[in-house]
Homo-oligomer: A and B are copies of this chain.
Amino acid sequence: MNTCNECEHLTLSMELMADHIKNIAQRLDKESIKKTIEYIMDADSIFIMGAGRSGLVGKAFAMRLMHLGFKSYVVGESTTPAVHKNDVVIAISGSGETRSVSDLGRIAKDIGATLITVTSNRDSTLGHISDATLEIHGRSKEDAGGYLERHMRGEYSHLTPLGTSFEISSLVFLDALVAELIFITGASEADLKSRHTKLE
């Protein structure tokens, strides 16, 4: 038949994601967030990097920083300049072990830049070398036990393939960080619009 009837996997998947986001919101490490905001506010430029879908999350975040008036760049894009001492480099890596990203993290540290990592795994290569680590809790047994989920138990493994949940939750987290930065900088919707690209 090749389609869904009530499409309940789809609905359930969205509801589990929503629950997971709430759970993360309640477990945030405020000290790391405060340090991160200070680093960002004081940086000359902010560089974002990540591989695969985490790289896409990074691009979405870098775009918002630019809208807010920060000098932000995505590592690997055409006109991204060299990193200097007073810059902040933000790595996004669920495992904290993505080889290409941790190699660049080490180079950023050698240059003397500040390294921040968004990860599900604080106890990782990137976590260890970072000046601040923003931990986004992955889905664990404990927070996976809600009613809806128990209802569907057998097919649970279908619902969060390949770490999807880290990428979505880090995107939600980083956009929420932008909301906080908007409040701090006092940027208005009008400011943001004036920097929004007209060529796309």
Report which A residues bind B (CB closer than 8 A).
2-7, 9-15, 17-19, 21-22, 24-26, 28, 30, 33-35, 37-38, 41-42, 47, 49, 51-53, 56-57, 59-60, 62-67, 72-83, 89, 98-100, 103-104, 107-108, 111, 155, 157-162, 164, 167-168, 171-173, 175-180, 182-184, 189, 192-200
- Which chain B residue shows the least CB distance to A59? B78
Query: Given contacts A37-B3, A171-B171, A176-B17, is CB(A79)–CB(B72) below 8 Å?
Result: yes
| Contact yes or no, B3 A34, CB < 8 A | yes
Docked Cα-Cα span, A194 to B25, in Å, equals 33
| Contact yes or no, A75 B200, CB < 8 A | yes
| Contact yes or no, B13 A179, CB < 8 A | yes
Docked Cα-Cα span, A34 to B33, in Å, equals 42
